[in-house]
Amino acid sequence: MDAAWLVPAALGFGLAVGVGGTAAVVAAHARGQRAAAVVTPSVPDGVEEVIDALESAGIVLDSSNSVVTCSTAAVALGLVWNHALAHPELVELVDRVRHEGTAANEELQLPRGPYGDAQVHLLVRAAPLGARFVLLLADDRTEAHRLEDVRRDFVANISHELKTPIGAIGLLAEALELAADEPDEVRRFADRLTIEAERLRSLTHEIIELSRLQAADALENADRVKIDTIVAQAVDANRVAAESHRITIVAQAEPDAVVWGNESMLVTAVHNLIANAIQYSPDGTRVGVGVSRRDGAIEIAVADQGVGIPESERDRVFERFFRVDSARSRQTGGTGLGLSIVKHVVQNHGGDVRVWSQQGRGSTFTIRLPEAAPAPAVPSRGARP
């Protein structure tokens, strides 16, 4: 071959090799991007922003059920663990939606986390998101289920509690009719009838009071309230009951203690604590009522020398109709609503109520309320601004 052709041939060969190599590199890069997209998929534009804006817990899953993105609520509810769904029930729902290609709803009760027995009630909706993803949305219905359980139990308890005095009144009325010619028997049945009627009146009053407390805002028409006035009224209202059992009420006030709230509601709360202490105290003992300041709060403590509360029942004493000693409570006319009313009054005032108790040594119930800020000073007429 003529040497003159060698240079052009070499240049052509080099150009062909270069173009081919460049094409191979570009193709490999494209394949790598496609592989990366499969291994690390990304959700369509705007989906992550929508999930963050939703009140529902949101999760996006890829074709292998790996979590691509999720909201904070989904993690808080324990639905996602280690980039995967934490519950097989959710996986089953997602697989069904992917197989059928249509959205589906389901109500599920799931463990809240790996520890303890707390449960969450969820309304879960899963739907296809494009060809490769599934969107899972979960609404937390736990509080709604809890309120429904409370409502159902409340109605059942009311029915049970009302049945006792109403049935007793009916029987006593029949007995009075049969004993019409026996004055002593009539008097005895009439006394029992009065007791049962009073129990029914008290129960009805406390049910209405509790319903009012749950519906009303105590601070809507609030004013500055002096705690020593609250304590004095509550003690006076229980004086007769205490004296009938030879129980001494010892009250220690704090003259400058002031809270922001509703005076009548607070009197009811302290009254119920004192009445409860008298009810569960042996005759001839003492009930103490003390007021103190601590860390910006006013504490009202009511202590008795009664039988105490078993440790297993202390968390339940504020439940509606719960009685530590049912027989004694019925004998003394207790309704089982007094401490529940205390709890709602205190919560409506932004406070809390706690109980300390030791069997054989008595119990102490402590109301803690935010202390009211000092009232602004009013300048005298002659004072200069």
Residue-wise pLDDT tens digits, 341-377: 888 888 888 889 999 998 888 999 999 999 887 755 5
Looking at residue 206, what is its pLDDT?
Answer: 63
pLDDT exceeds cutoff 90 at 94: yes
Is 235 in contact with 274 (CB distance < 8 Å)?
yes
Which of 68, 105, 101 shows the shortest CA–CA distance to 90?
A: 105
Mean pLDDT of 95-108: 92
Tokens (6 digits) for 369 = 């309320």
CA 100, 105, 111: angle at the middle one, nearest 5?
115
Tokens (6 digits) for 217 = 């805002």
Looking at residue 20, what is its pLDDT?
Answer: 58
Q: pTM of the entire structure? A: 0.52
Instruction: Pick one of 3.30.450.20, 3.30.950.10, 2.60.40.10, 1.10.10.10 as the CATH number of 47-140.
Output: 3.30.450.20
Looking at residue 154, what is its pLDDT?
Answer: 64
Q: Give the Cα separation of 91 and 104 in Å (integer).
A: 13
Mean pLDDT of 328-337: 53
Q: Give the Cα separation of 160 and 162 in Å (integer).
A: 6
Is 317 in contact with 329 (CB distance < 8 Å)?
no
Cα separations in angstroms, 53 against 44, 78, 188, 204, 219: 16, 19, 70, 46, 33
Higher per-residue confidence, 293 vs 318:
293
pLDDT band, very low/low/confident/very high, at 212 (cuts 50, 70, 90): low
Residue spans per domain, the chain:
47-140, 142-215, 218-374
> End-to-end alpha-carbon separation of the chain, Å?
116
pLDDT exceeds cutoff 70 at 250: yes
Instruction: Say whether 218-374 and 142-215 share the same fold.
Output: no
Looking at residue 23, what is its pLDDT?
Answer: 57
Architecture in CATH of 218-374: 2-Layer Sandwich (3.30)
pLDDT exceeds cutoff 90 at 193: no
pLDDT band, very low/low/confident/very high, at 95 (cuts 50, 70, 90): very high
State CA 106 to chain mean position distance: 25
Looking at residue 155, what is its pLDDT?
Answer: 64
Looking at residue 124, what is its pLDDT?
Answer: 94
Looking at residue 385, what is its pLDDT?
Answer: 46
CA 211, 217, 223: angle at the middle one, nearest 5?
125
Tokens (6 digits) for 111 = 């463990």
Mean pLDDT of 233-260: 90
Express each pLDDT in 338-350 by its tens digit.
788 888 888 888 8
Cα separations in angstroms, 337 against 5, 261, 307, 316: 111, 22, 20, 12
Looking at residue 327, what is its pLDDT?
Answer: 45
Query: Secondary structure of the chain in the HEC alphabet?
Result: CCHHHHHHHHHHHHHHHHHHHHHHHHHHHHHHHHHHHHHCCCCCCCHHHHHHHCCCEEEEECCCCEEEEECHHHHHCCCEECCEECCHHHHHHHHHHHHHCCCEEEEEEEECCCCCCCEEEEEEEEEEECCCEEEEEEEECHHHHHHHHHHHHHHHHHHHHHHHHHHHHHHHHHHHHHCCCCHHHHHHHHHHHHHHHHHHHHHHHHHHHHHHHHHCCCCCCCEEEEHHHHHHHHHHHHHHHHHHCCCEEEEECCCCCEEEECHHHHHHHHHHHHHHHHHCCCCCCEEEEEEEEECCEEEEEEECCCCCCCHHHHHHCCCCCCCCCHHHHHHCCCCCCHHHHHHHHHHHCCCEEEEEEECCCEEEEEEEEEECCCCCCCCCCCCCC
Percent above pLDDT 90 for the chain: 28
CATH number of 142-215: 1.10.287.130
Mean pLDDT of 165-190: 77
pLDDT band, very low/low/confident/very high, at 38 (cuts 50, 70, 90): very low
Looking at residue 329, what is its pLDDT?
Answer: 47
pLDDT exceeds cutoff 90 at 319: no
Mean pLDDT of 140-154: 75
Q: Give the Cα separation of 271 and 234 in Å (integer).
A: 4
Tokens (6 digits) for 64 = 């292998």
Is 169 in contact with 197 (CB distance < 8 Å)?
yes
Looking at residue 214, what is its pLDDT?
Answer: 57
Looking at residue 216, what is its pLDDT?
Answer: 52
